[in-house]
Chain A
Amino acid sequence: MCTTCGCGHGETTIEGHAHDHGHTHHHGHHAHGVMAAHAPGMDPSRILRIEQDILSKNNAYAAGNRGIFAERGILALNLVSSPGSGKTTLLTRTITDLSDEAPMAVIEGDQQTVLDAERIRATGVKAIQINTGKGCHLDAHMVGHALEKLAPEDDSLLFIENVGNLVCPASFDLGEAHKVVILSVTEGEDKPLKYPDMFHAADLMLLNKVDLLPHLNFDVEQCIAYARRVNPEIKVLQVSATSGDGLQDWYGWLRSTHEAMLMNRSPELAEA
């Protein structure tokens, strides 16, 4: 593990290259050499009061990413779901349908393979794959490095597709504007209660694969009620990435959210 900038198990790779610390990205802290600098001796033990949040390093990286997004008008969305919810299909369809409207870029997170980034690049949108190895989520530091390589355009939409997992990614802020949770109707309607932290952390829930509802016993109203029970503010859109149902609502949400962000960035424009 690198104690300088918080790299994980040394297994994280960004598009096939192991994260290389020979290069010159900036680190706020340098903990290397601490052990060597201080001779152990026979010091009596003492108690230090620390009171630091365990996620404080991740949160600092996330704040850095958020600053970059705000400065450059990039709407960053952290897409989270269980594996098989149709996230990548939804994303591929979205970037294809919106290709004439706004510049877009994608960060793909998976434990292994660059298959998803290849699927995205086939649409002509730039994408970069982060492989987390055994890691079960993306963190803000990995995303920061991916941003250096990906170089998303100003005023673009950046989709960060997290590792398929409804537990771990909930705790790790990446600097995104919103977490968007994708739940497909082929899963149980009680998922929001089983994984409350994720549905609590998300601002939007996309209920995907609604074209399959006639073939399933999935209670949409109950599912939405469960989601609102853990997060009364959550917005819900029903979509199908294959049939196209509801996608205009999702695109409308993307447009209005991005516009609101750009207006906030330039208050003089909002007044004009």
Chain B
Amino acid sequence: MHEMSLCEGVVQLIEEQAGKQGFSRVRTVWLEIGALAGVELEAMRFSFDAVARETVAAGAHLEIIPVAGRATCPACKHTVEIEARFDACPDCGHYPLDIIAGEEMRISELEVQ
């Protein structure tokens, strides 16, 4: 359940931004979470509400933008979508693949007041 810690990281970054950019309330938080990042999205939503309490992000709506896992195949050079880190190339069966997306854990945008 490291999602709790990840949410603490999110709230800390938001509080820093509040100082730098002068806002006192956050209405919406957009996170980009990759399919290969090892993050349970439901646990993230659950943890966020708890961790945000009594902070500038209290009551903020959490929007999670899932980022699909994508990789290039060193054998057939195709760019393919993958669901797990160890997936083989669906076109030629080769593995390992070179992962190019899906490991993201990022705060992308905030709607603030």
Contact = CB atoms under 8 A, between A and B. Distances in A.
B25 A48 contact: no
B47 to A, nearest CB: 11
B interface majority secondary structure: mixed
B6 A38 contact: no
Interface residues of B, number: 43
Interface in A15-53: 29, 31, 34-35, 37-41, 43-53
B95 A229 contact: yes
Interface in B30-89: 31, 36-38, 51, 55-56, 84-86
A57 interface: yes
Contacts of A197: 36, 38, 85
For the side of the interface on A, what is the size category? 35 or more
Given A1-B51, A45-B113, A54 B2 contact: no
A45 B112 contact: yes
Given A1-B51, A55-B6, A31 B106 contact: no
A56 interface: yes
B105 A55 contact: yes
Contacts of B4: 9, 134-135
Contacts of B86: 193, 196, 229-230
Of listed B4, B19, B111, residue having the most chain A CB within 10 A:
B19
Contact of A47 (B5, B12, B84, B111): B111
A134 B8 CA distance: 14
A125 B106 CA distance: 40
Given A35-B18, A54-B105, A197-B85, A172 B2 contact: yes
A45 B108 CA distance: 16
A131 interface: no
A232 interface: yes
B113 A54 contact: no
Interface of B: 1-2, 4-6, 8-13, 15-19, 21-25, 27, 31, 36-38, 51, 55-56, 84-86, 95-96, 105-113
17 contacts: A8-B5, A31-B15, A31-B18, A46-B23, A48-B21, A48-B111, A49-B109, A50-B110, A51-B107, A52-B106, A54-B106, A54-B107, A55-B9, A55-B105, A171-B105, A193-B86, A196-B84
Given A35-B18, A172-B2, 4 more contacts: A1-B8, A57-B13, A171-B2, A171-B105
